[in-house]
Every structure is written in C-alpha cells, then in structure tokens.
Chain A
C-alpha cells in the first residue's frame, strides 16, 4: 500500500519561504511521477506541480511558476516543494500525490496546512 506523509507546513509571513517534504513508502519511488496539489480553505483542488521519476523534468502551474520549486531525493524516497515569495493566496492544504493518472491512477497523502499571514 502506498503511503505518503507530508510535513513542513506552518505559519509564514508574506514574502517568506517554506519547504514541504513528503516521505513515500510502499512504492518504487524512482519509477513514479509525483505531484503537489493544494486546496485553499473552502475552495477546490488546484494542481501545483509535477516531477518525473528521475527528477529530470518538472512542470508548474502558472500561479506558482518562478516562486515554487519541486524536487526529489530518490535515495530517501522523499519529495519536496520549496516555496518562496509566499503570498496570502498560497494559504492552503498541500497534498503530495503519486501522480500517474494516465496509467496507474493517483495516490494521496493526508496533506499539510500552509498559512501565509502577518
């Protein structure tokens, strides 16, 4: 069974930075694309970013491009999201996901809350 455990959320001031982590188990981590998906309070799901299994390719939603960086350490089975220049509108629960919707489906973590506020 795939298990994904996010950490690193918390309260940060506007303009600040935060790094989220996602520890994965129950899968061959390096063979799977991984994504971050977020959900602002009371709002719908928003796809944020995806990284290929090797880490060689990464893509971002326009809303975070240039501010967020997705990365992975396959030796540690861990996914990261470095978030810089944070804004109030980045406040959300951030979900880590094994992201293979074209072939194998999507497995979800439980999420970590990021609050951007002064």
Chain B
C-alpha cells in the first residue's frame, strides 16, 4: 500500500523561507493527485491553505504557495512568522474515490 510521506519536523527562522514536501513511497505526485495542504494548531480544527496543487483557499495570505517540485507536492512559506508554527498536513487523491493524508510536518519557527 502506497504511503504519503512528509518530513516529520522542520524549522525556519522568522522571516525565512521554508518548503515542506509531500511524496509517495512509490511513484511521483502530479497535479492529477490534487494535493491539498492544511494547517493545524493544537486543539483546533484544520485550516485549508492550498487545494488542487496551487490554489490558495479564501483568506490565506500569498506567502503560502503550493507547487509540484520534482516528484513531490510542495508547500512554500515565505517570510515565516511566529504564528506559522503549526502542524502541516497534505492530502492526495489515490484514485477510486480514496484520499490519503501524509503523516504531517511539525514546523517550528525559531
């Protein structure tokens, strides 16, 4: 069974740029997987950042962007701020109606 992979943790300095990735244990992610990205802080419901690879959800600042980098989906945060410190999850479409989340990345801003 294909696993969706994400970096378990990442750190970025305030004002810096970070790129989180979302890959497959077998194969490459393309736009046909409709990757989406979500941000979640402890005790809160997830918040949608990006859907369908690179479309920002309503109200999401443009320092969050999505793309395909090589064989992975990517979420880039430019000008990182303290309140960007969260968990970030991707989800991809595996076909036949099935969606799979990645394990999530804990982002630290320090």
Interface set of A (CB-CB < 8 Å, partner B): 35, 37, 44-47, 50, 57-59, 61-62, 95, 99-111
Contacts and interface: CB of A to CB of B under 8 A. Distances in A.
A60 B104 CA distance: 21
Interface of B: 1, 34, 36, 38, 40, 45-48, 51-52, 55, 57-58, 87, 89, 91, 93, 96-104
Contacts of A57: 97
Contacts of A111: 45
Given A44-B89, A45-B89, A59-B96, A105 B101 contact: no
Nearest to A6: B45
- Please report whether the interface of chain B is mostly helix, strand, loop or mixed according to DSSP: strand
Contacts of B97: 50, 57-59
Given A47-B99, A47-B101, A61-B98, A104 B45 contact: no
- Please report whether the interface of chain A is mostly helix, strand, loop or mixed according to DSSP: strand
B45 A109 contact: yes
